[in-house]
Chain A
Amino acid sequence: MTETRRLLPVLFAAILAFAAIGVGPYVLDTYSVNVLTRSLLYAAVALTVDLLWGYLGILTFGQSVFFAAGAYAAGLVFTHLDFTTSNAALALLLGILAALAIAAVVGWLAFWHGASALYASVITLVLPIVATQLLYSGGTFTGSSSGLSGFISFDISMEGWFWIAGGFLVSITTLAWLFVQSDAGRLLIAVRENEQRCKYLGLDTSRLKIIVYLVCAVIGAVAGYIYACYAMVVAPELAGFVFGTELVIWTALGGRGTLLGPVFGALIVDYESAQLSGDYPFVWQLIIGTVFVLVIVAFPRGLLPIVVDVPRKLLSMVLRRAPKPPMSVTLSTLDSVGTQGEAPGTGPALVVEDVAKHFGSLTVLAGIDFSARAGELVSLVGPNGAGKTTLMRCIADGSERSAGSIAVNGHDIGRRPPEACVRLGVGRKFQMANVFDTLTVAQCLQIARVRHKRPSLWRRATDLPLPEAAMHVLRTTGLDRQLGTPARLLSHGMKQALELSMVLALEPRVLLLDEPTAGLTKTERMQIGEILTDLTCKQGLCILLVEHDLDFVCEISSRVIVLHQGRIVLDGSVEEVVQSELVKQVYAGSGHAGIEHQAGRSGEVPA
């Protein structure tokens, strides 16, 4: 499917929507037009909630505050200054700036590297509470609990406002739709699904979250500005968390992560609320509350997907049409000249100097000293608890270690977070296959290439250039024929291969692999072994490998480092390690020096 065929229906739908908006005031009664003007603006804010929650995974109760920022900017300027065109522009600017400032503070609090999802949600809940209280205490300036009213604004007819609100909503929805369907939009889903993997692919997820949050704040502020100009009254409830949670409820009911669901959800529920509020206010709220709880518990995807699925299934049964194939992507290999990753500094690819790691009084690693050159395949072995995975973590994440220094390609990694270490040339493959389950193989690889190829904000790329190393893995394992398969349907071995390709797509100079053969069949293990040897010999990567399968280690390693109780006990060639008495004891005897086995003497345990 080409880009044009994909985008044409969207354009068509947008035109239809604009037409519906245009016709609206002539078809509906005055009361409905009035109510819907407000609902249309609320729907735009609900859209931002879906972007943040449904797509990015941040549950936010505070979008109401940005709406109020735009609204109060208009209200304050038009109340305390006169209404002129330049003041109108000033008010809009102030509203947007206020929203950006608030969003920046919230972003700093809620989206920093160590914040949990719960903490972020809590901050977005505290935000509207703080905002409403500040508005209450603003005295005559903000109008306190009664708000501001009676100010003059644009002289536009009721139909005109309907068209403005409707036009705003349709435009924003169309743009948002193009965005979430694009390559850049898929980043949001990737972050929601597996933020850790994104970080280890070099993506600064905190910055991404803050940027999306800022954009949503601006959309909310503009919606609020239009509202204030239309309604000519602003009240502190606009910033409140009742409104904020209503937005979340509409989004959940409509269907989080569907974009259109929350928009329709907001329109329908807000419109009906206005209609029924007069007659049965409490019963209506009770019904909404009950449906909401039901949806969360039993239908977490929301109501729109259910509503859409039924006719779609019927249609496909009737028309007997095969489901549309996902957009296909063609792979290509990059020239090897450009793919050597970070410019290598002089000297070894990896230098680890006197690294230690403590957890309180527990020492997991101490005195770790070694260096590795390009083209070496170093295996890290040792009993459970020896510190192998901890050491890998320290190399891939500058903030992990307690002491010592690590340099990749001659650059000290300092205290850099994982995404920055990726930029220095480190690629880490996790023990449990760590990919994006809901994305296809091709999409996973695209995410891995984001650092090298900025994704479009509205298009979907049809070609996917990959470095030779990644292509090799894809071809050898047959993944190149499964580009359209969702990752969660892959077998365990294929998932491991996919993750390896993704990491190789980063063009790392130092590759960290944690138990790459875990759970693999014999054939798959052989394939991985060949691939890894190729990578070091032909591509000049430096590979550091944690493994328990000692046969595998002996077959492919050029060097083995043995860890025991957090220290290096041996660092040498495969022969040296196999012959070593110390290693035999470490492995077969739980590390007790001097233990000898006495054959056939049951009932006696050696001293």
Chain B
Amino acid sequence: MSVGLVIDKLSSGYAGAMVVRDVTLDLPPGQILAVLGKNGMGKSTLLKAMMGFLPKMAGSVHIAATDATRLAPHRVARLGVGYVAQEKALFQDLTVEENLRLAVRGPDFDRALAEVEESFPFLLQRLKQRAGTLSGGEQKMLLMARSLAVGAKFLLVDEITEGLQPSVIDRLAGVIRDARTRYGTTMLLVEQHLPFALAVADRWAVLERGEVADSGATDERDAATRVRRHLSV
């Protein structure tokens, strides 16, 4: 069994409506997969189902060879999965430090802080600030820091570039590539921002109405064209 992320024929949704249909994705360890698709196509639902927030009507999820299909969200997180939700991903009223502490389960908070300092030095000056007072870009940085400081082996990220300036997106891309090099983190990035996704990920997959419509490697010459076809108006 692969020690990466294996999603096999997963179907999930809300209140009887199947939003994700029969999705199969296989991420070997250390791979970055970008999941693309227009709004409402089931991308966020896929992540929520993987985390255990939504009931699974069919299929399975294996994380590092452990069957995570029926696990409660906090147990999935404890398998080493970092989840960055699209909305309300931070505790706005808690400080930066408290937000980081929540994610670090072991006693090595200082070591985690050291990791954070390397990639996001500015955060160390804001430790006592309420997370809600940071700018949009800084909050996203904090989200990445939170997941990486934990040493998460798997990252599920939902549209982290939303609402960010190009310069900040650049930095994020760098952070993500670093993390893969240093920790070998396997990542599933849900994205709407095509250039970012293609630049950072190894492979891409497009979700259309809950199903995987197409996929491929990002370094193929026709990758961009194929994706665009699915995303175009």
Do the two chains belong together in a single complex? yes
Contacts of A492 in B (CB 8 A): 16-18
Pair A590/B162 contact, Cβ less than 8 Å: yes
Contacts of A604 in B (CB 8 A): 199
Query: Residue on A with the closest CB to B15?
Result: A432
Count of residues in A whose CB is under 8 Å from the partner chain: 37
Alpha-carbon separation in the docked complex, A6 to B233 (Å): 57
Count of residues in B whose CB is under 8 Å from the partner chain: 43
> Which of A491, A554, A577, A597 is within 8 Å of B194, CB to CB?
A597
Alpha-carbon separation in the docked complex, A548 to B45 (Å): 15
Knowing A583-B233, A603-B199, say if A383 contacts B194 (CB, 8 Å). Answer: no
Please report which residues of chain B, range 206-223, place their CB below 8 angstroms from some CB of chain A when the two chains form the complex. Answer: 209, 218-219, 221, 223
Pair A587/B195 contact, Cβ less than 8 Å: no
Whether a CB of chain A sits under 8 angstroms from the CB of B121 is no
Knowing A587-B231, A599-B225, say if A607 contacts B17 (CB, 8 Å). Answer: no
Pair A605/B170 contact, Cβ less than 8 Å: yes
Knowing A548-B39, A605-B195, say if A519 contacts B200 (CB, 8 Å). Answer: no
Contacts of A383 in B (CB 8 A): 39, 162, 192
Pair B17/A588 contact, Cβ less than 8 Å: no
> Which of A433, A491, A549, A599 is within 8 Å of B224, CB to CB?
A599
Query: Residue on A with the closest CB to B167?
Result: A607
Pair B199/A548 contact, Cβ less than 8 Å: no
Knowing A383-B39, A597-B195, say if A602 contacts B218 (CB, 8 Å). Answer: yes
Whether a CB of chain A sits under 8 angstroms from the CB of B103 is no
* Most chain B CB atoms below 10 A, which of A432, A588, A596, A598: A588
Alpha-carbon separation in the docked complex, A548 to B87 (Å): 18
> Which of B219, B225, B233 is within 8 Å of A584, CB to CB?
B233
> C-beta contact mask, B79-100 vs A, less than 8 Å → 1, else 0?
0000000110000000000000
Pair B161/A549 contact, Cβ less than 8 Å: no
| B43 shortest CB reach to chain A, Å | 10
Determine chain A's interface SS by DSSP, over half rule.
Answer: loop
Pair A577/B233 contact, Cβ less than 8 Å: yes
| A383 shortest CB reach to chain B, Å | 6
Pair A602/B233 contact, Cβ less than 8 Å: no
Pair A587/B199 contact, Cβ less than 8 Å: no
Pair A600/B196 contact, Cβ less than 8 Å: no
Contacts of A600 in B (CB 8 A): 219, 221, 223-224
Whether a CB of chain B sits under 8 angstroms from the CB of A307 is no
Query: Residue on A with the closest CB to B221?
Result: A600
Query: Residue on B with the closest CB to A586?
Result: B233
Whether a CB of chain B sits under 8 angstroms from the CB of A19 is no
Alpha-carbon separation in the docked complex, A195 to B174 (Å): 50
Contacts A592-B169, A599-B221, A602-B198 given; 19 further ones with Cβ under 8 A?
A384-B86, A385-B163, A432-B15, A492-B17, A519-B13, A549-B40, A578-B233, A584-B233, A587-B233, A588-B194, A588-B228, A588-B231, A590-B163, A597-B195, A599-B224, A600-B224, A605-B170, A605-B199, A607-B166
Between A and B, 29 residue pairs with Cβ closer than 8 Å are A383-B192, A384-B86, A384-B159, A492-B16, A492-B17, A492-B18, A515-B40, A519-B19, A554-B233, A577-B233, A584-B232, A588-B228, A588-B232, A589-B193, A589-B195, A590-B161, A590-B162, A595-B166, A595-B195, A597-B194, A597-B224, A600-B219, A600-B223, A602-B199, A603-B199, A605-B169, A605-B173, A605-B196, A606-B195
Which are the 10 A-B pairs with shortest beta-carbon distances? Answer: A548-B40, A519-B17, A548-B39, A492-B17, A590-B193, A605-B199, A605-B173, A599-B224, A588-B231, A602-B219
B residues sitting closer than 8 Å to A (CB atoms) are 13-19, 38-41, 86-87, 159, 161-167, 169-170, 173, 192-196, 198-200, 209, 218-219, 221, 223-225, 228, 231-233
A residues sitting closer than 8 Å to B (CB atoms) are 383-385, 432-433, 491-492, 495, 515, 518-519, 548-550, 554, 577-578, 583-584, 587-590, 592, 595-607
